Structure 1
Amino acid sequence: MRIPLLFGKILFWACLIFLSLFFYYDSVIPYFYGYRSRIFGTAFFNNQLWVTMHMVGGTFALLLGPSQFWPAFRNRYLKFHRIAGKLYMFGILLIGISAGRLSLVSTCVPCRISLFLLTVFAVTATWFAWVAIKNRNTKAHRQMMVRSYVCVLAFVMVRIDDGQSLNFLFGSISDATFRRVVNEYFFSFVPLLITEIIMVWIPSVYYKRK
């Protein structure tokens, strides 16, 4: 039973890391080589600062996040775990500031609410994770870190539809704006709901009182 479970975990993390690295290569690195889109704005304080801050913060959170969840790695390299955790929180802070600003000027007006709420959830979950570990509540700390990282991954998953059709999820939606709104709200909140079901609902239902 343990071998299939271990294989499943390895496969899960391999897919997650591959998807994150592909997103980073395809959607983040081009900006540092001079690529510009409408969202990048026209001046330093007209989006350029915020988009750059968003990408830098996202880099810390996206790439350092996985190492926070591997028990063997975490226990063996505790000092790195703590440093990486602080850098992760710093990344979330940058994401919170920048995404909060970008949510007010997004070209997809109906998407602004989902972006703002997702930003609030990411910052709040990270804050509670920090409070929990300061109070030596490791279980709550792990759970809040999971929620935080799910929010970070949502920023990746909302970009999937740009390169890979998700008609099997949403059906064929011809209106581009409506399709983007459905995509944004689905990946902003459905993964969080699934996380709650796995992490809280199922254990609470199947827990047997001794």
Structure 2
Amino acid sequence: MTGLTAVKTLKTISLTILVLVALYFVIDRVLPYFFKFNIEHYKSYYWPNKWWLVGHLSGGALALLIGPFQLSTPFRNRFIKIHRSLGKLYISGIMIASLSAFYMSFYVAPQVNVSWSISLFVLALVWLASVLMAYRAIMLKQIPQHREWMIRSYIISLGFVLFRFLNESSLVQELMPAFEERGPACLWLSWTVPLFASEMLLQWNKKKIKNRKRPQSDFDNEPVGYNFKP
């Protein structure tokens, strides 16, 4: 197996895993809020603002399920029209989900504490900004930048999945028994660490640009204290 084939295989496996994770999360954690639309399931915490939660879950689930297909090069090359249509849905889903999260950060999250409210607000802000940057890049026909921002936006989307895993981990619960302390910490970790790691990979894989020597001008030999005035 050549190096190029190995990379393609690894990408295919990674995208397949993402699809399976997204499917599991949507079926196990999102759909119950639609099938059990009552105060018993939503609890008093969410029920008064249930429609904002529905918007957040719907948009987030849409982004989770569409994301892997948008990141797949073979899928994009073969179904370019579908890729563009799904891209519009992906952007719309994140916009709806993030704006709903903005609302909940002000009117729902403060029931826990200010720290939880701030952490949710910042996550929603970064999520929305990343997908808008991806949209701006494609409008300017900046394909490499568009792909990078799409990767960042999907990693932030996965932050909600990772948050559930961290928050419900027995080890984390032993370290931080109270949700007031555990929740904000897990929410920050769920997107900042993966985003930082992905940024390192994105920058590491970029081709090195050789520095060209700048032609020396007459001003290069001027004394440091010389102030040039045109």
Q: Shorter-chain TM-score: what band? A: 0.7 to 0.9
Q: How big is the shift at 1:119?
A: 0.8
Alignment of 1:117-132 (within 5 A): 117-132=122-137
Question: Which residue of structure 1 aligns with residue 162 of structure 2?
Answer: 157
Q: Which runs of 5+ in 1 are unaligned?
A: none
Question: Which residue of structure 1 aligns with residue 210 of structure 2?
Answer: 209
User: Which range moves more in the overlay, 8-17 or 123-132?
Assistant: 8-17
SS in 2 for 1:159: helix
CA distance, structure 2, for counterparts of residue 150 and residue 39 of structure 1:
30
Q: Which has the larger radius of gyration?
A: 2
Contact 1:40 1:51 in 2 (8 A): no
Question: Which residue of structure 1 aligns with residue 218 of structure 2?
Answer: none
Contact 2:134 2:145 in 1 (8 A): yes
Contact 1:60 1:91 in 2 (8 A): yes
Amino acid at match of 2:64: L
User: Which of residues 143, 146, 156 is equivalent to 1:138?
Assistant: 143
Return closer, same or farther for 1:56/1:171 CA change in 2, 3 Å cut-off: closer
Question: Which residue of structure 2 aligns with residue 93 of structure 1?
Answer: 95
Return closer, same or farther for 1:39/1:208 CA change in 2, 3 Å cut-off: farther
Alignment of 1:25-40 (within 5 A): 25-34=27-36, 36-38=41-43
Deviations 1:60-85 (A, max 9, x none): 21111111111111011111001000
Q: How big is the shift at 1:153?
A: 0.8
Q: How big is the shift at 1:173?
A: 0.6
Question: Percent same amino acid among aligned pairs?
Answer: 31
Contact 1:39 1:47 in 2 (8 A): no
Contact 1:114 1:188 in 2 (8 A): no
Amino acid at match of 1:72: P
Question: Which residue of structure 1 aligns with residue 200 of structure 2?
Answer: 197
Return closer, same or farther for 1:176/1:19 CA change in 2, 3 Å cut-off: farther
CA distance, structure 2, for counterparts of residue 190 and residue 39 of structure 1:
32
CA distance, structure 2, for counterparts of residue 76 and residue 3 of structure 1:
19
Question: Which residue of structure 2 aligns with residue 182 of structure 1?
Answer: 185
Q: Which runs of 5+ in 2 are unaligned?
A: 212-230
TM-score (norm 2): 0.80
> Pairwise CA RMSD of aligned residues?
2.1
- Aligned length in residues: 202
Question: Which residue of structure 1 aligns with residue 60 of structure 2?
Answer: 58
Amino acid at match of 2:186: N
CA distance, structure 1, for counterparts of residue 71 and residue 44 of structure 2:
33
TM-score (norm 1): 0.87
